[in-house]
Amino acid sequence: MPVAPPDPKEAVGRLLGFAGPRKKLAVLGCVLAGVNGVFVVMPLVCVWFVLRDLVAVAPNWSAAEGLAFWGWLAFAFSATGLLVYFAALMCTHLAAFRTAANMRKQALGHLGRVPLGYFDSHASGHLRRVVDGCAGQTEDMLAHKLPDFVGSLVTPVAFVAVMFAFDWIMGLVCLVPIAISALMMWWMMGRRTKNDGMPFMMLYQDALNRMNKAAVEYVRGIPVVKVFQQTVHSFRAFSEAIMSYRDMAYQYSKSCQRPQVVQLVAINGTFAVLVPAGILLAHAAGDFAAFLTDFLFYAVFSAITTTMMTKMMYASEAVMMAQDSVRRIDEILATRPLAEPSAVQAGHPRDGSISFEHVGFAYPGASGDALVDMSLEVPAGSTVALVGPSGGGKTTAASLVPRFWDVDSGSVSVGGVDVRDIPASELMAQVAFVFQNDRLFKASLLENIRAARPGATRAQVEAAAHAAQCDDIMAKFPDGLDTQVGAKGVYLSGGECQRIALARAILKDAPIVVLDEATAFADPENEALIQRALARLCEGKTVLMIAHRLSTVTGADVICVLDGGRVVERGRHDELVAAGGLYAKMWNDYRTSVTWRIERSGTHAA
């Protein structure tokens, strides 16, 4: 759900809340940075005393006394300031690293409790950008920009305090360029856009997220791009994301052209205001020598205003990025997790049966219902196939069993207990999944299979791999089960990945098996092996099978035909074919498609 961006103070406070006990280190680091801001001014004061003593004895410079004292004192202030600044950064770095780590941990921990269907509607590229990228953005802000911002604020405050001891009029003149620079920075970075009143940084991060999400999808589609000789423009979402980011960044940069010029001229041209003011004030000065020494102090101070305001500018940008990071992390944390039953409510399935009772469900944000008043009984140990046109609700129905989503009306039960009353860990132990595009971890084959049951022995993993017809996979690699998959390892074909996934499901040995077209992308050789593995996996289990290839469901105990989210037919294969309904039409279409073949020129397809 959309979350409003916090104000800067709230954003910093939220970030420090992630730091836990190290929040005190962040506060201490900012205090030390403020102390360093005072030390930045003090050497200039010492320089003023040196100039005062020199002007007082001019032109007899050798008669000046105390120069060494003020010089060493200036050195002491500078050296102490460096040590204090180093200590400040050490404190803020420790807090920043803990903050980023805790942000990632909390976000990932919360994602582990949200409905699994959440990941279907939120692209992996977007989530990676939020969990990893946004947390990483906060490190630089807390570690460097925040203490620099505090120091940059304290420095002019200390200067204002010191200036009353010299010439307050000249001090105010020096503050004029600083005020202009601050105003221009606010104009560029703090104002809201004309179209929707949103801060630019929020729009900028939105554009980056869209581009990151589209880029991940594009990279996954590169094989299609190469096979069909397409360009990036054929992937409209990616192309539009790039163009949108380009146009937005260009328009914003163009709007900042004049303010940035004014800001740079003001902060780098303090002398251009100071010198005319000094000439005007010199006429009214009673003691010209004293006025000259004061003027030299402000001239020296003007040199550090550029560094000071530059730090403030970068800190302001970092704070805005932190605001956006906190907002996006909060959007994840605001996602409602699956409700866990209390100890009193918790139930335990008596067997592997599944029951759908008047189930109604609509995806978040969808205009229509995915399932409408669906009722279906799957007895323990039976095989039920869900078939129907694309978009009919087959995958949706199967995903409600392990609570990828919770029903809007009605109920889904496992072993006579509503799945909402079964603890999540126990429900997951009841169900094994085999999808059409199962993915493997970047780990060994052993670890990939053992993920289903971490406590399994090597012998149990080997037995599961053998049952899943994986012997040829292990035989072709010298390291066998210890072969690494993915980065710095080997890559398996789609059919081989599917068999490893089946081994994982066999090792889990759950009483319920959900199959989502497990042989969809397999070649004939792999399909034969996968069918044998599936037969082993489904022995004595309750099987809920989603099928597009109707030849795989002819032996099912019950075939349930879904269309438009409703159950329109149910029965055995022969019964449904004889009924002449939707299933019979699908079966005839399927038989026609499998007998179609290409013949020589001059003949037609039979």
Which candidate, 328, 390, 291, places its Cα nearest to that of 126?
328
8 A C-beta contact, residue 546 and residue 384:
no
Residues 29 and 174 reside in one and the same domain: yes
User: pTM for the whole thing?
Assistant: 0.62
- The span from the CA of 559 to the CA of 579, in Å, is 13
| Cα distance between residue 469 and residue 527, in whole Å | 11
Is residue 566 one of the residues assigned to a domain?
A: yes
Residues 374, 316, single domain; the answer is no
CB count within 10 Å of CB 59 equals 6
Whole-angstrom distance, CA of residue 587 vs CA of residue 549 = 9
* Domain CATH for 183: 1.20.1560.10
Which helix (H) or strand (E) element contains residue 289?
Answer: helix 288-333
Pairing of strands 512-516, 431-434: parallel
Instruction: Please give the residue range of the domain that contains residue 552.
Output: 354-595
Kindly report the CATH number assigned to the domain that includes residue 549.
Answer: 3.40.50.300
3-state secondary structure of 228: coil
Sign of the torsion formed by the C-alpha atoms of 481, 486, 490 and 494:
positive
Do both 374 and 289 map to the same domain?
no
By DSSP bridging, strand 354-361 and strand 371-378 are antiparallel
The answer to whether position 272 is within a domain reads: yes
* Judgement on whether residues 46 and 129 belong to the same structural domain of the protein: yes
CB atoms within 10 A of CB 579: 12
- Residue 561 pairs with which residues in a beta bridge? 387, 569
Q: Copy the structure tokens of residue 415.
A: 């072993």
Query: For the chain, which residues score pLDDT lower than 70?
Result: 1-9, 120-121, 123-125, 156, 159-160, 162-167, 189-202, 205, 216-217, 219-235, 303, 343-344, 437, 487-489, 518-526, 594-606
**Three-class SS of 540-606:** CCEEEEECCCHHHCCCCCEEEEEECCEEEEEECHHHHHHHCCHHHHHHHHHHHHHHCCCCCCCCCCC
CA 83 to chain centre: 37
The answer to whether residues 280 and 361 belong to one domain is no
Tokens of 155: 């420095």
Do 102 and 158 lie in one domain? The reply is yes
Q: Which two tokens stand for residue 594?
A: 């499998």
Query: Is the same domain home to 398 and 473?
Result: yes
AA letter at 81: G
Contacts of 239 (CB under 8 A, 6+ apart): 232, 233
Among residues 333, 364, 395, the one where a domain terminates is 333
Same domain as 147, residue 188: yes
CA 563 to CA 582: how far, in whole Å?
Answer: 9
Q: Is residue 558 within 8 Å of residue 527, measured between CB atoms?
A: no
With both helix axes pointing from N to C terminus, report the angle between 270-282 and 257-268 in degrees, rounded to the nearest 10: 50
CB contact at 8 A, 349 and 430 = yes
pLDDT in tens, 492-521: 877 888 888 889 989 998 899 888 876 655
Say which residues have a Cβ less than 8 Å from residue 411's Cβ, sequence separation at least 6.
355, 357, 358, 359, 418, 420
- Helices (H) and strands (E) counted in the chain, each on its own, are 23, 10
- For the chain, state the CA radius of gyration: 35
DSSP-derived pairing of the beta strands 371-378 and 409-414: unpaired
Instruction: Tell me: do 166 and 289 sit in the same domain.
Output: yes
Contact 102, 18 (CB under 8 A): yes
Distance CA 213, CA 501 (A): 27
Structural domain ending residue among the three candidates 287, 304, 333: 333
Residue-level pLDDT at 606: 43
Q: Which of 544, 489, 494 is nearest to 519 (CA)?
A: 494
Task: Report the DSSP beta bridge partners of residue 492.
Answer: none
Give CA–CA dist 265/184, Å, rounded.
Answer: 11
In a domain, 2, yes or no: no
Residues 132, 173 within the same domain = yes
Within-domain flag for 372? yes
Q: How many residues does the chain have?
A: 606
Is-contact 452 374, C-beta < 8 A? no
User: Which of 558, 505, 554 lies closest to 534 in space, CA to CA?
Assistant: 505
Please report whether residue 3 resides in a domain: no
| Distance between CA atoms of residues 466 and 33, nearest Å | 64
Indicate if 307 and 371 belong to the same structural domain: no
C-alpha distances in angstroms, 269 versus 149, 176, 263? 22, 11, 10
Q: Is residue 88 part of a domain?
A: yes
- Identify whether 342 is part of a domain: no
Indicate whether 603 belongs to any domain.
no
Q: Label residues 128-155 b or e (16+ Cβ within 10 Å = b).
A: ebbbeebbebbbbbbbbbbbbbbbbbbb
Angle at 280 between CA 276 and CA 283, to 5 degrees: 145
Q: How many domains does the chain have?
A: 2
Distance CA 43, CA 70 (A): 9
**Residue 374, pLDDT score:** 92
Q: Which of 353, 350, 394, 403 is nearest to 374 (CA)?
A: 394
How far is 47 from 265, CA to CA, in rounded Å? 26
Q: Are residues 319 and 373 in the same domain?
A: no
